[in-house]
Chains A and B, each alone.
Chain A
Amino acid sequence: MKKQRFEFFVGLFMAIGILCLAFLSIRIARNELFAAGGYEVQAVFTNCNGLRNGSAIMIAGVEVGRVKTITLEDYEAKVTLMLQRGVALQKDAIASIRTKGLIGEKYVEITPGAADQMVPPGGMLHGTEPAMDLEGLISKFVQGNLSTTKPSNP
């Protein structure tokens, strides 16, 4: 009888351990299992290079949500943002894709606006700024320098 009870507790302990492991792995994979409720907002970016599902959404450096999905729509990136309940976005808020540090991971930064109307759940945030194409800009700058100096120094 005593032995049976002992085995039961060992089993129970193991079961709890496995459950904790499953919970943790789901949390880490960011498919929030028991996520605190929130709402979705769509935003279209011309380029979302480096952004992925689960990337952070920040306002003033405070995390207020995560990227839920990224899909291609009309050759542009349509990003679904999952925002925490209680974080309201004005219609003229702007979402930009930024980098943590110089070569860190990408996140969505939102700068709040001043419009009276708010973006409703499932609505669209129109103000977006794409991910910066640093290499493209550098090459353009270099090229631009060469070709614009030509006419002035014939």
Chain B
Amino acid sequence: MKRITAISLLFAAFASAALAASPLEEVKATTEKVILLLKDPKLQGDEKKNERRQVVRTEMEKRFAWEESARACLGRHWLKRTPAEKAEFVKLFSEFLKDTYSDKVATYYGDLDKVDYQGEKIQDDYASVKLVLKTKAKLEHPLEYRMEKTSDAWKVFDVIIEGVSMVKNYRDQFDAIIAKSSYEGLIKEIKAKQPLNP
């Protein structure tokens, strides 16, 4: 009996160690790291734009639940795709999102004065972390990360900027494109938007 308790305690310790960081801590760690890396004197200037972008891409790669995010963005069309198509879409989508956001973050975080972490809310396997980005021009932009508990950590699957959900935005756009042309048409359009990383 004692041994069973000891083993289960050990397992519990492992499990909690694996999920030690709370959603807020995860977001804070990544955000602070990106801000710090972008401040690197070696990365300043217009000619280093791609390097700055790369920094953001690397951090995004680790922090996003790509499959959940891609599935949510494709919405009900996801169900009609084969496993191979799904895998291709996740890869394409992650590249597309990294391109779009790394550009914005790399430019925008340079103007950042302060980040206000407003707290987290956890319910079941979902969490939301709210922050306010304060720019040097004294503007405040509310940001919310929607996260999901995965096997190893809390990962982001949706970003809500100024009350507009990224997933919802892309779900509507993708849906419109598929309705107008086809799934293949959508893939073509996403591919066309990726001149940076072929």
Contacts and interface: CB of A to CB of B under 8 A. Distances in A.
Q: What 5 A-B pairs have minimum CB-CB distances, sorted nearest first?
A: A114-B78, A147-B137, A126-B126, A92-B72, A130-B163
A114 B163 contact: no
Interface residues of B, number: 30
B57 interface: no
A111 B167 CA distance: 10
Interface centre among A92, A115, A124, A126 (most CB of B within 10 A): A92
B162 interface: yes
B186 to A, nearest CB: 15
Interface residues on A, range: 20 to 34
17 contacts: A46-B144, A47-B163, A96-B168, A111-B168, A111-B171, A113-B71, A114-B74, A114-B79, A126-B126, A127-B167, A129-B163, A129-B165, A131-B163, A132-B163, A132-B164, A140-B139, A143-B139
B160 to A, nearest CB: 7
Contacts of B168: 94, 96, 111, 127, 129
B72 A114 contact: yes
A126 B123 contact: yes
Given A94-B168, A96-B165, 10 more contacts: A46-B163, A113-B72, A114-B76, A115-B72, A126-B128, A126-B146, A127-B158, A147-B137, A147-B139, A148-B137
B75 A112 contact: yes
Contact of B71 (A46, A114, A127, A143): A114
A40 to B, nearest CB: 16
A20 interface: no
Interface in A35-52: 46-47
Contacts of A126: 123, 126, 128, 146
B176 to A, nearest CB: 12
Interface in A76-129: 92, 94, 96, 111-115, 124, 126-127, 129
Interface in B154-178: 158, 160, 162-165, 167-168, 171-172, 175
A126 B160 CA distance: 13
Given A92-B68, A126-B126, A133-B163, A144 B75 contact: no
B138 interface: yes
Contacts of B75: 111-114
Contacts of A130: 163
A133 B158 CA distance: 20
A47 B163 CA distance: 9
Contacts of A127: 72, 146, 158, 165, 167-168
Interface in A129-154: 129-133, 137, 140, 143-144, 147-148, 150
Interface string A46-90: 110000000000000000000000000010000000000000000
A127 B160 CA distance: 10
Contacts of A129: 160, 163-165, 168
Contacts of A74: 121
